[in-house]
Amino acid sequence: MIRQACLVLLALLGVVALAQTPPASAAPKAGEPVFAEIRPGTQTASASNASPEIVGGQRAGDRGLGTEGGGQSAAVGGNTATASTSTNVTPGAPASLSGYVADDKYKLRVGDKISLQIIEDRDAPKSLVVADSGELDVPYVGRVAASDKTCKQLAAELKTRLEKEYYHRATVVIALDVANKFLGRVYVWGQVRNQGPIDIAVNENLTAGKAILRAGGFGDFANKKRVKVVRSGATDGAAKQSFELNMVDILEKGKTEKDVVLQPDDFIIVPSRLINF
């Protein structure tokens, strides 16, 4: 009896053992992913110890554009090239003026628009206009005579004045932006249809006869034979001049060689006849 009981017990223990044994997993098919269980305590590769990813001969860290050091890094063919985003000009150093040549031919006139820049200020150029008085209102300096001076002459003058009181070193750049298309004005008075100023365009040879025609022609009581042109020479120290013209010969008989080419600020005076009939 005892022997049979032991055999029955052993049979029961075998059945229990077979029930607890996990079934053998089937072999994975081709192309089917394999999943592995990771249990606590399993050693994994540390991210700090892992080698960088290599893509096409380049490290993964080199595929992007880095900004360290203010530049841009780009790996090409396994070599790293650094292209700095900043310019080669040392901070605080004046900009190069190698491409600028000061104008030493054209003389500034009233109404001209210029740009003035002091490089050491690091400011954008300032736009200035030559006033009717022939002056410029310059920062720090004030009103400066600019008419009949070239940009080069004016820049040298301002440099001297700025370095005398305000700057250890001043780099002054003056450039002509827009030239006044009018050279000046003449004034017609007396027996004409429209009295007043007449503009003289640049490169225009405006004569007294043309000015009278531009003023609408003679009035009804004009003395055409005794038209006067009065020229003041006060600006350049010359003496005052006066010309008397016979406009009958010039305009009606075509003797244009007797006409006078006008200059800015000339006065054309057309008198009246003594006897009007």
- Give the 3-state secondary structure of residue 14: helix
- Whether 257 and 230 map to the same domain: the answer is yes
If one counts the domains in the chain, the total is: 2
Q: Check if the beta carbon of residue 178 is closer than 8 Å to that of residue 105.
A: no
Considering the domain boundaries, does residue 163 fall inside one?
A: yes
Of 130, 160, 178, which residue constitutes the final position of a domain?
A: 178
Determine the pLDDT at residue 5.
67
- Give the 3-state secondary structure of residue 250: helix
- Whether 124 and 162 map to the same domain: the answer is yes
Considering the domain boundaries, does residue 236 fall inside one?
A: yes
Of 161, 178, 195, which residue constitutes the final position of a domain?
A: 178
Determine the pLDDT at residue 176.
93
Q: Check if the beta carbon of residue 66 is closer than 8 Å to that of residue 75.
A: no
- Whether 193 and 139 map to the same domain: the answer is no
- CATH number for the domain spanning 228: value is 3.10.560.10
End-to-end CA gap in the chain: 175
Considering the domain boundaries, does residue 200 fall inside one?
A: yes
- Whether 201 and 167 map to the same domain: the answer is no
- Whether 186 and 174 map to the same domain: the answer is no
**Phi, psi (deg, nearest 5) at residue 185:** -135, 150
- Whether 171 and 186 map to the same domain: the answer is no
- Whether 231 and 205 map to the same domain: the answer is yes
- Whether 252 and 234 map to the same domain: the answer is yes
Expressed as residue numbers, the domain containing 189 is 182-270
Determine the pLDDT at residue 32.
52
pTM: 0.52
- Beta strands in 78-226, from DSSP E residues, in sequence order: 79-84, 113-118, 126-129, 135-138, 142-145, 172-178, 182-190, 196-201
The tens place of each residue's pLDDT in the chain, 277 residues long, gives: 676 666 767 777 776 666 555 555 555 555 555 444 544 444 444 444 443 333 333 333 343 333 333 333 333 334 433 333 334 444 444 444 444 455 678 899 989 999 999 999 999 999 999 998 999 999 999 999 999 999 999 999 999 999 999 999 999 999 999 999 998 899 999 999 999 999 999 889 999 999 999 999 999 999 999 999 999 875 556 788 999 999 999 999 999 999 999 999 999 999 998 876 5
Other C-beta atoms within 10 Å of 94: how many?
13
Considering the domain boundaries, does residue 233 fall inside one?
A: yes
Considering the domain boundaries, does residue 6 fall inside one?
A: no
Q: Check if the beta carbon of residue 189 is closer than 8 Å to that of residue 195.
A: yes
**Phi, psi (deg, nearest 5) at residue 57:** 85, 0
- CATH number for the domain spanning 142: value is 3.30.1950.10
Of 178, 205, 223, which residue constitutes the final position of a domain?
A: 178
Structure tokens at 235: 């600006």
Considering the domain boundaries, does residue 190 fall inside one?
A: yes
Q: How far is CA 230 from CA 196, 197, 200, 249, in A?
A: 15, 14, 16, 20
Considering the domain boundaries, does residue 13 fall inside one?
A: no
- Whether 191 and 215 map to the same domain: the answer is yes
Considering the domain boundaries, does residue 202 fall inside one?
A: yes
Determine the pLDDT at residue 265.
92
Structure tokens at 83: 């292209």
- Whether 209 and 260 map to the same domain: the answer is yes
Q: Check if the beta carbon of residue 94 is closer than 8 Å to that of residue 119.
A: yes
